[in-house]
Structure 1
Amino acid sequence: MLPTDTTFAALGVPAPIVEVLSGSGITAPFPIQVATLPDSLGGRDVLGRGRTGSGKTLAFSIPLVARLAASDSKRLPKRPRSLILVPTRELANQVAAVVDPMARALGMKMATIFGGVGQNPQVQALAGGLDVVIACPGRLEDLIGQGHCDLGAVEITILDEADHMADLGFLPGVKRLMDRTPKTGQRLLFSATLDNGVDVLVKRYLSDPVTHSVDPAVAPVSTMTHHVFHVQTADKAEVVRQLASGLGRSVLFTRTKHQAKKLAKQLTASGIPAVDLHGNLSQNARERNLEAFSNGTSRVMCATDIAARGIHVDDVALVVHVDPPTEHKAYLHRSGRTARAGAGGTVVTVTTPDMVGEVRTLTRQAGISPVVSQIRPGAELIAELAGPPAPHVEPAPAPEPQPQGTGGGRRRRGGGSGSGGSAAKPASSGGRSGGSGGGRPTGPARTRAELAARAGTTSAASFSARSRRGR
């Protein structure tokens, strides 16, 4: 059994990093951190396997910063000292929010690199010399091809959510990038599973790795409760609306981008502020919607599977599978948006008569035994799971239509219609689905309070309270 009363200092974490962590209320390491830190701090290659919400971001961020601080190498233009590869823009930003306070405390420079935003700030950051680059594969390959970046000085390479990169078809690009890093460098790979070609990455790029697995691959979280609602097709929309009407945060998953956008609009129009998150949004709209959900402006997020991985917002009370996913791993990753870091959470799958068999197979493969109920609108169980009802919020009036064809100005690209409340109106154009991600227009976190905000909490105090268990 892994110890639960150890400290970061006892695991060999340098004092300046311990001070930053404790200043953010992070004092007790999670099991995956206890398991991996002695080896990763010692320079070993590590294969880490832990479910989402297990604290793996700190498990690789701490040794990354600690080992760079102990190295004699210097920052050089266009030649970063370390590389973290991630599958999505959102994950890049969230990893950056964790790394930045530690790197800043030790005088290091870092930047995020991904598509969907202009490349000039990224090019300038690389030209100035960087200790840490957090990147999605597509944009990084573009910048290397243009001569703006050289991975020949990388001392530490980290692949985060390698299985998700495989799911998105990024492995060929990952291999090309890994081939550009020195074979003598330290490499850490974190993945929930080893299928889909991830095992090839391990064999090809990790040298005598130490494997640490603190959870079964994509395990159901014990603090989740699972329900399946059998509803009539005509009742489904109203049942979903009632599930989304509570005070707590909820994430509603659909199979298509169109359905996510439509559902967010319908909920907002009915007095439940909702935002959408999917691959058709511009990067600014994605970040604006995620911020509205994180800060509580909108309590409901309607999302496709792009948000099932790497979107780490705490205190999500309810996950609703409005459309059941196509396979059980997606079910577990979607459901992992709730019950994070030891908290409780509820997962509801809404199924119509034509999908009963498919959902039964899905839950069996996922290893869960849900509570199955026949549900009509107004059922007591809906109110019980949704929690206390939130007050009705009158939707913002639609903007007046602008006359066309008479003005001389150009129409802005990347706009689009709003499908959230007045505080966050998503656009319907822009980035590729799940592709190389976007930047942090608000800049890196400069204070611990900002670190708390970036982690998706509503206040630094709540961040500190929940973080005492570790991250």
Structure 2
Amino acid sequence: MDISPVTFADLGLPSVLVDELASQGILAPFPIQQATIADALSGRDTLGRGRTGSGKTLAFCLPMLTRLHKSNKPRDRFRPRAVILVPTRELANQVRDVLVPLADALGMRTATVYGGVSYTGQINAMRNGVDIVVACPGRFIDLMESGQIELDAVECTILDEADHMAELGFLEHVTRILEKTPREGQRLLFSATLDRGIDKLVRKFLQNPVTHEVESTEENEAQMTHYFFQVTQGNRFDIIADLCAAPGRALVFTRTKHGARKLAAALVENGVPAVELHGDLSQAVRARNLAALSAGKVDTLVATDIAARGIHVDDIALVIHADPPEEHKAFLHRSGRTARAGAEGTVITMVTENMRRHTKRLAKDAGIDPIMKTVVKGDPILTEIAPGERELKEMPNLEERRPQRGGGGGGRSGGPRRGGSKFGGGGQRRDRDDRGPRGGDRDSRPSFRDRDDRGPRGDRDSRPSFGDRDSRPSFRDRDDRPARTGGGDFRGRDDRAPRGDRDSRPSFRDRDDRPARTGGGDFRGRDDRAPRGDRDSRPSFRDRDDRPARGPRTGGGDFRGRDDRGPRGAGDDRPRGPRPDSRGGRPAGPRGASAGRKKPARSY
């Protein structure tokens, strides 16, 4: 396709976007951008086909932003004006990083929606109102079905890497989302291929689309050298480790998540700092590992095919297929991580004996002519392909840990819980004498150790029940306790006999030694009661044959007026006075052995 060089201003973009691009050093559009932007700005549905690294993100972001800027409709809660659907979290973040500076320049809000993180922030963003949502289909459907996103205000819908969304099984979700968007809205679809149902999606939702296909395969392949190393299973790892230990960034692909985890760990163990990237990792760990590669903390990333779609790291000089992929499209997509934007790159595929037939077909389908070579450990070709000194290093610490306040135990960075952790180690508290007294401010409060104003507590082991607490009076021997005086409540009980040991108290079952009650009708006046003795000698509630028979009840049906009962005597230590009738006039009925005692009404 013969396209003369133009500038972004020539394409009709707002000057504020042109200035923002210039501030980033982006002055001229890539071929896919130049071919797509003009038609997209005219409002036509667009089908773009281009390789990864060809500049597709700006090709759809710039016309979308221009359309929203011209329409200038107000932002509304839960109703975005544009939706960009992508297959993976990494690709969502990549699109966000390109989009946010441009949207900010126009005063527009964006939000990123994908799984693996909390719903709260995403729901809050929708509630506050956003102009553009970059989303993975699964989480987007969740928010849509729960009423957190409404699509009736969408002016532009974009599908990026639609073929990969089809591979991941997202076409049903994508279809449901597109059905909710206004028919008159603009739709842009970008896909490397039109198989796996993408052609049906195009026919159903794109109205008379204009197609732009800018394949840069030949240009990229001219800068990319392919090697097929015939290796044994025994020396395969040694060759990979040798290549990754050379200076420069390397990207290693495996078929499975377990394979990525195992290979990354083996590289680290052998002095080659490496991080992994696959679907089993949380979003925080994935972002941390990618950041470590981008920042140069590590130079080797071991990834799976799924994660390959979202990797956006510059200056990757070497791509290694530790496990050849199943199909040629995945092979080309993996390989496309190097030799980007005119840079040179090398792609090496490890071919074991059982993979030779498969890799031969893979090369044919991908349209490449690789250099075939049998390689052993220490082969000179390794330093020829990846020159430089092999320097073994320790794996850097990628964790950003909070400073620990009190040391281990309990699983908390601040030390064990008060009194020792129930779940962690070390029930003893740390020595806290080095901390200043806390007072009103936390920092001025006294520590748990330095309490000189309090009397000695003795050893913890001296407590009763929970050990020996010899410094405190036990619950059994209360003879050393001073008599209480004053007040009209429970104080001043000098008339009570000493209790002695609990074991010597009478039981509730044997009450034969208790004399008949005399005196008034209430519970006052109990001076006639004998010492209780052991609890075991009390009568049970069932054996009350020694109690005189009750006479007929009088006095209005309550527990008052029990003239048949003997006088109880008077208790000088209890406040006198009649107890109020709390039964509300209900007739008293037989209630077994406890019918003669008035119980307070229950409250629930």
**TM-score calculated relative to the size of structure 2:** 0.65
Q: Does 1:408 align with 2:427?
A: no
2:114 maps to: 114
Query: Residues 273 and 396 of structure 2 are in contact (CA less than 8 Å); yes or no, is this contact kept in structure 1?
Result: no
CA distance in 2, matches of 1:409, 1:134: 42
Structure 1 residue 233: Cα displacement? 2.0
Residue 202 of structure 2 aligns with an amino acid whose one-letter code is: V
Residue 51 of structure 1 aligns with an amino acid whose one-letter code is: R
CA distance in 1, matches of 2:81, 2:423: 45
2:523 maps to: none
2:162 maps to: 162
CA distance in 2, matches of 1:105, 1:303: 35
Q: Which moved more, 1:347-356 or 1:188-197?
A: 347-356
Q: 1:402 to 1:278 in 2, by over 3 A?
A: farther
1:376 maps to: 376
Query: Residues 80 and 132 of structure 1 are in contact (CA less than 8 Å); yes or no, is this contact kept in structure 2?
Result: yes
CA distance in 2, matches of 1:48, 1:403: 56
1:17 maps to: 17
Partner of 2:189, secondary structure, is strand
CA distance in 2, matches of 1:106, 1:149: 23
Q: Does 1:224 align with 2:224?
A: yes
When the two chains are superposed, the root-mean-square deviation of aligned CA atoms in Å is: 2.2
Q: 1:211 to 1:268 in 2, by over 3 A?
A: same
Q: Does 1:248 align with 2:248?
A: yes
CA distance in 1, matches of 2:24, 2:250: 26
CA shift digits 1:45-66 (9 cap, x unpaired): 1000001100000000101111
Residue 107 of structure 1 aligns with an amino acid whose one-letter code is: G
CA shift digits 1:384-417 (9 cap, x unpaired): 222313532124699999899x94359xxxxxxx
2:388 maps to: 388
Q: 1:126 to 1:255 in 2, by over 3 A?
A: same
2:57 maps to: 57
Query: Residues 277 and 307 of structure 1 are in contact (CA less than 8 Å); yes or no, is this contact kept in structure 2?
Result: yes
Q: Which moved more, 1:264-273 or 1:208-217?
A: 208-217
Aligned positions, number: 410
Structure 1 residue 318: Cα displacement? 0.4
Structure 1 residue 95: Cα displacement? 0.3
1:211 maps to: 211
CA distance in 1, matches of 2:156, 2:391: 50
Query: Residues 227 and 371 of structure 1 are in contact (CA less than 8 Å); yes or no, is this contact kept in structure 2?
Result: yes
Residue 243 of structure 1 aligns with an amino acid whose one-letter code is: L
1:47 maps to: 47
Any residues of structure 2 matched to 1:315-330 within 5 Å, and which?
315-330=315-330
Query: Residues 51 and 219 of structure 1 are in contact (CA less than 8 Å); yes or no, is this contact kept in structure 2?
Result: no
Query: Residues 114 and 140 of structure 1 are in contact (CA less than 8 Å); yes or no, is this contact kept in structure 2?
Result: yes
Q: Does 1:189 align with 2:189?
A: yes
Structure 1 residue 86: Cα displacement? 0.4
Structure 1 residue 246: Cα displacement? 1.3
CA distance in 2, matches of 1:286, 1:45: 34
CA distance in 2, matches of 1:386, 1:307: 25
Partner of 1:153, secondary structure, is coil
Structure 1 residue 220: Cα displacement? 6.4
Query: Residues 2 and 31 of structure 1 are in contact (CA less than 8 Å); yes or no, is this contact kept in structure 2?
Result: no
Query: Residues 162 and 189 of structure 1 are in contact (CA less than 8 Å); yes or no, is this contact kept in structure 2?
Result: yes
1:84 maps to: 84
CA distance in 1, matches of 2:409, 2:318: 39
CA shift digits 1:322-353 (9 cap, x unpaired): 11111111111111111112211100001111
Partner of 2:222, secondary structure, is coil
Residue 21 of structure 1 aligns with an amino acid whose one-letter code is: L
2:38 maps to: 38
Any residues of structure 2 matched to 1:307-386 within 5 Å, and which?
307-386=307-386
1:258 maps to: 258
CA distance in 1, matches of 2:350, 2:384: 16
Q: 1:186 to 1:217 in 2, by over 3 A?
A: farther
CA distance in 2, matches of 1:366, 1:402: 56
CA distance in 1, matches of 2:91, 2:255: 21
Q: 1:280 to 1:354 in 2, by over 3 A?
A: same
Q: 1:219 to 1:177 in 2, by over 3 A?
A: farther
Partner of 2:142, secondary structure, is helix
CA distance in 1, matches of 2:396, 2:156: 49
2:135 maps to: 135
CA distance in 2, matches of 1:159, 1:122: 20
Any residues of structure 2 matched to 1:260-275 within 5 Å, and which?
260-275=260-275
Query: Residues 245 and 272 of structure 1 are in contact (CA less than 8 Å); yes or no, is this contact kept in structure 2?
Result: yes
Q: 1:386 to 1:307 in 2, by over 3 A?
A: farther
Partner of 1:339, secondary structure, is coil
Structure 1 residue 73: Cα displacement? 1.6
Partner of 1:234, secondary structure, is coil
Query: Residues 192 and 218 of structure 1 are in contact (CA less than 8 Å); yes or no, is this contact kept in structure 2?
Result: no
Residue 277 of structure 1 aligns with an amino acid whose one-letter code is: L
2:125 maps to: 125
Q: 1:383 to 1:204 in 2, by over 3 A?
A: same
Say which one has the larger Rg.
2
Segments of 5+ residues of structure 1 without an aligned counterpart are 411-471
Structure 1 residue 307: Cα displacement? 2.2
Partner of 1:151, secondary structure, is coil
Query: Residues 84 and 133 of structure 1 are in contact (CA less than 8 Å); yes or no, is this contact kept in structure 2?
Result: yes
**TM-score calculated relative to the size of structure 1:** 0.84
Residue 385 of structure 1 aligns with an amino acid whose one-letter code is: I
Structure 1 residue 4: Cα displacement? 5.0
CA distance in 2, matches of 1:94, 1:395: 26
Query: Residues 89 and 310 of structure 2 are in contact (CA less than 8 Å); yes or no, is this contact kept in structure 1?
Result: no
Segments of 5+ residues of structure 2 without an aligned counterpart are 400-406, 412-419, 425-604
Partner of 1:98, secondary structure, is helix
CA distance in 1, matches of 2:375, 2:56: 38
Residue 82 of structure 1 aligns with an amino acid whose one-letter code is: A
Q: Does 1:201 align with 2:215?
A: no
Larger relative contact order (CA 8 Å, sep ≥ 6)? 1
Query: Residues 112 and 122 of structure 1 are in contact (CA less than 8 Å); yes or no, is this contact kept in structure 2?
Result: yes
1:468 maps to: none
CA distance in 2, matches of 1:219, 1:357: 28
Structure 1 residue 234: Cα displacement? 1.4
Query: Residues 253 and 305 of structure 2 are in contact (CA less than 8 Å); yes or no, is this contact kept in structure 1?
Result: yes
Structure 1 residue 216: Cα displacement? 7.2
